[in-house]
Amino acid sequence: MRQKGFTLLEVLVATLLMGIAVAGLMGGLRTSLSNAARLTDSARGTALARRQMDELLAVRDLPKGVPMEGQYPPEVTGGVEAGWRARVLPFESQAMPGQMPAVGTRMLERIELRVWWKSGGQERYVELSGYRGARVRPQDLAALRALGGGQ
């Protein structure tokens, strides 16, 4: 009489196939979680960069060509070490090419900003540029000369 059921070999093969499937699913889950964490860091960095750019655009008397930097407090970044570096450069002015603009002349300033944070032992960053209109001030002339005349 023949018994109904599975042989030991069939059970071992089924267990092996199930183990391979579970290992594949766990690998995919690990990759997904890693990508989600990386995207969360990038989203946080982008939000910090936008906020910092708004603050820099609002301050009218930033020095031209001088690097500025700062660090964010841990409560703002969720405990991640992060900071920013920026500088304001003349982008374009109404002066003739090769000439220094006069005090009071309209010009376009470019603000270059890099927000950085530490993630997984590496420094990651987001870079933004912003533009705004300004007038040449007396204290800007030395920086414009050093940077090539404001053009």
> Mind listing the pLDDT tens digit for each residue in 49-91?
999 999 999 998 888 888 999 999 988 888 889 999 999 988 8
Contact present, 113 and 128 (Cβ < 8 Å) = yes
Beta partners for residue 107, in sequence order:
93, 134
- Kindly report which listed range (38-42, 70-74, 93-97, 99-103) carries the lowest average pLDDT score: 93-97
List the structure tokens of 101: 């603009």
List the structure tokens of 37: 């964490």
Please give the Cα distance from 3 to 89 (Å, whole number).
86
The DSSP string of 18-31 is HHHHHHHHHHHHHH
Whether 18 shows a pLDDT value over 90: the answer reads yes
Phi, psi of 142 (to 5 degrees): -65, -45
pLDDT of 128: 94
Greater model confidence, 46 or 36: 46
